């Protein structure tokens, strides 16, 4: 008999969780490998959703006419999340919930930080580092450090574990906007070139109009002078 692949992987996941926890308890250990993998996945999914929201806003505003939208969403994969030293903060005796904390490090590639800072400078926005300071995020050398708080809870059936992350909002904002500015850098540069060209064309039009205006004034003045001269000659003859 051939096993259904989906059922097979669910079984493996369930066994892995059971092997790491007391079989007489519904609580999931904070250092359970499947649970920490789930936390990492939630971090990645949250960032992807944040970038999706940014992208919809950019498209609605017509801000990325020359860029491939998929590149922004794909840039989320460049962020590396690492978890270390998980701790159990509280095991709820009245529910299967377990409160945990863990040392989280989110690493942003240096080239993306550089692009983001360059784009920010062009539009007079604060740097990535200053943005982190404004958000009260611990950021240094392209890394974000956070004591992540989260809650683990298995479903009633025990076939799945849910992870609720508590204090990631500011970090996710920093990551999302850093990636967004890096993504927008080529568009910002193109827009600035277009603005320069438009301003140059406007100056040229103004100069041409001023030349035409000066020529017109000179013609009027010449006509007035000729008329005056003719009138003076008429009165002298008279």
Residue where the block lists tokens 């903060």 = 89
Please return the burial class of 64, using the count of CB atoms within 10 Å of its CB with bins 0-12, 13-18 and 19+: middle
How much is the pLDDT for 66?
Answer: 79
For residue 230, give Cα distances in angstroms to 48, 151, 184, 227: 83, 100, 68, 5
| Lookup result for tokens 């008429």 | 234
Secondary structure letter of residue 216 according to DSSP: H
Those residues with Cβ within 8 angstroms of residue 148's Cβ, 6 or more apart along the chain or in another chain: 39, 83, 101, 102, 103, 104, 165, 166, 167, 168
Q: How many CB atoms lie within 10 A of CB 174?
A: 21
| Integer Cα distance of 78 and 107 in angstroms | 8
Q: Report d(CA 234, CA 238) in Å as an integer.
A: 6
Please state, in angstroms and rounded to a whole number, the distance separating the CA atoms of residues 64 and 47: 20
> 211 CB contacts (<8 Å, ≥6 apart)?
none
Q: Which residues pair with 87 in a beta bridge?
A: 101
pLDDT at residue 230 in the model = 54
| 24 SS3 class | coil
Query: Residue 175, exposed/middle/buried by CB under 10 A (0-12, 13-18, 19+)?
Result: buried
Terminal alpha carbon distance of the chain: 129
The answer to whether 184 touches 112, Cβ cutoff 8 Å, is no
What's the average pLDDT block by block, 10 residues per block, for the chain (238 residues)? 32 36 68 92 94 91 86 93 96 94 98 96 96 98 97 87 94 96 92 58 55 57 57 54
Residue 83: predicted pLDDT: 97
Q: Where are the alpha helices (DSSP H) in the chain?
A: 5-20, 33-60, 70-74, 110-122, 128-135, 169-237
Return the DSSP state at 148: E
Q: Beta strands 98-107 and 80-91: pairing type?
A: antiparallel
pLDDT for residue 127: 97
């Amino acid at each position: 008999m051939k096993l259904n692949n989906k059922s097979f992987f669910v079984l493996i996941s369930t066994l892995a969780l059971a092997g790491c926890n007391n079989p007489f308890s519904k609580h999931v250990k904070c250092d359970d490998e499947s649970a920490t993998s789930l936390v990492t996945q939630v971090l990645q999914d949250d960032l992807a959703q944040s970038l999706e929201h940014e992208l919809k806003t950019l498209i609605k505003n017509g801000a990325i006419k020359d860029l491939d939208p998929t590149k922004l969403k794909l840039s989320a994969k460049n962020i590396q999340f690492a978890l270390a030293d998980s701790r159990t903060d509280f095991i709820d005796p009245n529910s299967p919930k377990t409160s945990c904390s863990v040392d989280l490090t989110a690493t942003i590639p240096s080239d993306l930080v550089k692009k983001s800072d360059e784009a920010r400078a062009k539009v007079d926005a604060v740097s990535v580092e200053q943005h982190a300071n404004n958000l009260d995020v611990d950021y240094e050398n392209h890394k974000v450090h956070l004591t992540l708080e989260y809650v683990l809870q298995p479903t009633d059936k025990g076939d799945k574990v849910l992870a609720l992350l508590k204090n990631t909002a500011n970090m996710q904002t920093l990551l999302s906007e850093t990636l967004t500015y890096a993504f927008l850098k080529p568009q910002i540069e193109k827009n600035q070139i277009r603005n320069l060209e438009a301003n140059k064309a406007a100056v040229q039009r103004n100069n041409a109009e001023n030349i035409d205006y000066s020529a017109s004034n000179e013609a009027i003045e010449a006509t007035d002078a000729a008329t005056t001269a003719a009138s003076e000659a008429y009165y002298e003859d008279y």
